[in-house]
């Protein structure tokens, strides 16, 4: 499911309380209604929305009572910063995801294919610590990204719209690109892209060549390049 | 701000659109109203809520026009799984946060105190990649946590309430604890904790000693221990 739909669902206090309750144990409507102090009718409506989104599902026990439980893992991340507002949701990667392919990241956790209770509890502790460390690292990265974007703004001499300048520069850093390609890549109108490039060309930051727009940084070090 | 308040704010499509707009450039009320196709009155109300929460702030330019912009970095993470529903929000760690103190995590990014545009763009690229890798790693961890909890459930022979069993076992793994301590630590009523411990004692998984409740796993390897 997309992050907007997930944010709409989680933006309701009672639905969050239902999820918190179901994460402890499966419940039927009357239980939820009594716990929340909300009418069964309202609970049923919340459950319907959560079920439609695939967040919860139900099963019927021997007494033909319908129990609801959380269906699957979902993860949502939202970043708000002066340089961007981004939200993404995702299902956890399956175990075959190869963490060793990461270029900037190394993980070190005990994890063996074990059924020994003590080892499992040890793995649980490690994974919970790692989860915390990854959260800290994400916040650190977000802070650094902001610093870098601040410095790029200063460098390019732009004001508050600097994110779009940084995106343009980052995009042509590896190879020269046309206005059309850039417009598609950073999702901005062609005329906006053209205008920004022209203003940076005036500042001597970028230049237009027959291969497309490129940074002039190399030109500075190699005047005849 | 707490994650519940943040979820309430972000649970509204128009407020998300306002944030997305402000992340590109500071705007005044009429601009936002026209962009969103929403009355200025409604826009002002959304802006008030976002400003009260500290997500945005405003400044007045020479023409005495009031511009709104995003005030600071905030990060929100939500995990939904059959074993838990957790949300947390945080401000990015400041640059003095020491990533090297992480026990399970090593990061490798180029980051120097530079003002060179090319190096800054390179750092931007690295940080954005790292951000992606951290996201993948978090999803991987969430998946592994679920696997481990599944196995603990099987091991202990419990059903859907197994998260609370796992929390109890993890808590007494390092040292024996009393029912009172455990009740506080895992935030569950004393009588619930006592009952769960008794049921696990019947299964031979834990035992009560004069130092408190402890795992019996060591007892199995050392019968006279």
pLDDT tens sequence across B92-126: 655 556 666 777 888 877 666 788 888 888 888 88
For residues A139 and A136, what is the distance between their CA atoms, to the nearest angstrom?
Answer: 5
pLDDT, mean of residues B47-58: 94
Do residue B16 and residue A4 have CB atoms under 8 angstroms apart?
yes
Q: A29: how many CB neighbours lie within 10 A of its CB?
A: 17
**pLDDT score at A68:** 95
Q: With contacts defined as CB-CB under 8 Å, which chain B residues touch A143?
A: 73, 92-95, 97
Q: Are B8 and A16 in contact (CB under 8 A)?
A: no
Task: List the one residue out of B161, B146, B170 whose CA is nearest residue B199.
Answer: B161
What's the pLDDT tens digit per position in B153-205?
888 876 656 678 888 888 898 889 999 999 988 878 898 899 989 989 998 88
- Where is the domain boundary, A140, A156, A172? A156
Q: B119: how many CB neighbours lie within 10 A of its CB?
A: 16
Q: For residue B80, tell me if it sits in a domain.
A: no
Q: For residue A133, tell me if it sits in a domain.
A: yes
Q: For residue B204, tell me if it sits in a domain.
A: yes
Q: For residue A75, tell me if it sits in a domain.
A: no
Q: For residue B20, tell me if it sits in a domain.
A: yes
Q: For residue B171, tell me if it sits in a domain.
A: yes
Classified as helix, coil or strand, B22 is helix
Same-domain status, B108 and B142: yes
Q: With contacts defined as CB-CB under 8 Å, which chain A residues touch B83?
A: 23
Same-domain status, A131 and A164: no
Q: Are A82 and B57 in contact (CB under 8 A)?
A: no
Q: For residue A180, tell me if it sits in a domain.
A: yes
For residues A119 and B180, what is the distance between their CA atoms, to the nearest angstrom?
Answer: 26
Q: What residue of B is the nearest CA neighbor of A27? A: B160
Q: Residue B138 is nearest to which of A87, A131, A217, comparing CB atoms?
A: A131
Q: What residue of B is the nearest CA neighbor of A5? A: B11
Q: Residue B142 sits in which domain range?
A: 96-156
- Where is the domain boundary, A156, A171, A201? A156
The ipTM is 0.80
The number of folded domains in chain A is: 3
Q: What residue of B is the nearest CA neighbor of A78? A: B76
H helices of chain A, in order, are 3-10, 13-24, 29-36, 40-52, 117-156, 162-174, 179-185, 190-202, 217-221
């Amino acid at each position: 499911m997309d992050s907007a739909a997930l944010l709409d669902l989680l933006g309701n206090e009672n639905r969050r309380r239902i999820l918190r309750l179901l994460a402890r144990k499966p419940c039927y409507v009357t239980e939820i209604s009594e716990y929340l102090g909300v009418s069964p009718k309202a609970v049923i409506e919340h459950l319907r929305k959560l079920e439609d989104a695939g967040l919860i599902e139900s099963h019927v026990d021997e007494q033909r009572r319908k129990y609801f439980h959380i269906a699957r893992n979902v993860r949502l991340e939202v970043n708000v910063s002066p340089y961007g507002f981004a939200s993404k949701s995702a299902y956890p990667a399956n175990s075959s995801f190869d963490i060793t392919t990461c270029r900037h990241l190394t993980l070190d956790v005990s994890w063996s294919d074990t059924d020994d209770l003590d080892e499992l509890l040890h793995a649980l502790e490690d994974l919970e610590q790692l989860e915390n460390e990854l959260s800290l690292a994400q916040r650190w990265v977000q802070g650094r990204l902001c610093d870098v974007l601040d410095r790029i703004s200063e460098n390019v001499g732009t004001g508050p719209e600097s994110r779009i300048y940084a995106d343009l520069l980052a995009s042509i850093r590896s190879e020269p690109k046309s206005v059309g390609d850039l417009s598609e890549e950073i999702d901005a109108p062609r005329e906006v892209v053209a205008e920004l490039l022209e203003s940076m060309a005036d500042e001597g930051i970028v230049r237009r060549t027959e291969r497309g727009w490129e940074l002039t940084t190399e030109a500075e070090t190699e005047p005849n390049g």
